[in-house]
Amino acid sequence: MIRRHLLFPILAAALAVAPAAFAETAPKAAKAAAVKTEPVKVESGAYAVDPDHTQVGFVVSHMGFSAFRGRLGDVSGTLQLDGADPAKSKFDIKLPTASVNTPVDKLTEELKASDWLDAKAHPEIRFTSQAVDVTGPRQAKVTGELTLHGVTKTVTLDARLHGAGVNPLNKKVTVGFDLTGTIKRSEFGVTKYVPLISDEVGLEISAAFEKQN
């Protein structure tokens, strides 16, 4: 049971955004009417997921009363970023199913069991991009294959470039994307309590990638 705000997903329609199109707005001067902009430098090359700063979340409707959220961790994966031709950018994201976590300990254990995600039989959740369609200066749609609960389906995620540059602490070139989407868990064989617990699962991913030397 994952949510489209992650999953995966990794991570990645924003991969398709052209570097020259990325712009950030500087603060307005006290009496200045115009806003100055500068291109955000996005470097081409091979990147790896920064697991400490990548979050994958999901949300479902709980009996129509509330939006219940959870997350997955220990994310790994790669990104091949092509600045000259963003549509050729690719990424591959993996998450251990057993990393699923909710605010309720009992539910967390249930989600790992065979009635739900079955972490023992299906230990990995994976999203591999196949196509990137740039839709705006910082936006793109990423279509790829999501493997969940042993089932692989084509999923499209909305991606947005969050930011790019050199991390001032570790001096590594870093790029970050926000990805969102929705899946139907029943299509992946996760059907328990549908429709009391919504079939639709929202995915939310905030992914950071560090350039590899």
Query: Using an 8 Å Cβ cutoff, are 162 and 177 in contact?
Result: yes
Q: Is 174 a member of any domain?
A: yes
**CA angle, corner 93, sides to 70 and 44, nearest 5?**
130
What's residue 86's pLDDT? Answer: 83
Residue bearing the bigger pLDDT, 151 or 84: 151
> What digits encode the pLDDT tens for the residues 118-166?
999 999 999 999 999 999 888 999 999 999 999 999 999 999 999 999 9
Q: Is residue 54 assigned to a domain?
A: yes
Q: Find the domain containing 207 and state its range.
A: 45-211
Strands 90-96 and 124-134: antiparallel
Asked if 162 and 176 touch (Cβ cutoff 8 Å), the reply is: yes
pLDDT of residue 31: 40
Whether 8 is in a domain gets the answer: no
Q: What is the CA radius of gyration of the chain?
A: 18
Name which residue leads in pLDDT, 11 or 50.
Answer: 50
Q: For residue 206, tell me if it sits in a domain.
A: yes
Q: How many domains does the chain have?
A: 1
Summarised one tens digit per residue, pLDDT across range 23-66 is 343 344 444 334 333 445 689 999 999 999 999 999 999 999 99
CATH number, domain of 123, equals 2.40.128.110
The closest alpha carbon to 103, from 56, 75, 71, 67, belongs to 71
Q: For residues 180 and 158, what is the distance between their CA atoms, to the nearest angstrom?
A: 5
Distance CA 163, CA 157 (A): 18
104 or 10: which leads in pLDDT: 104
The pLDDT value given to residue 40: 56
- Report pLDDT for 42: 81
Q: Of 171, 179, 184, 167, which is closest to residue 205 (Cα–Cα)?
A: 179
What average pLDDT does this structure show over 96-100? 98
**Quick check: is 130 in a domain?**
yes
Instruction: Give residue 209's pLDDT band: very low, low, confident or very high (50, 70, 90).
Output: very high
Task: Kindly report the pTM of this predicted structure.
Answer: 0.79
Span 95-117, average pLDDT: 97
Q: Is 110 helix (H, G, I), strand (E, B) or coil?
A: helix
Question: How big, in percent rounded to 5, are the helix, strand and coil portions of the chain?
Answer: 15, 50, 40
Domain-located, residue 116: yes
User: Residue range 6-21: average pLDDT?
Assistant: 36
What's the length of the chain?
213
CB 97 within 8 A of CB 56: no
Mean pLDDT confidence for 65-71: 97
d(CA 19, CA 31): 31
**Domain for residue 21, yes or no?**
no
Q: Looking at the domain assignment, is residue 31 inside a domain?
A: no
| pLDDT-wise least confident of 17-21, 61-65, 107-111, 121-125 | 17-21
pLDDT tens digits, residue range 157-207? Answer: 999 999 999 999 999 999 999 999 999 999 999 999 999 999 999 999 999
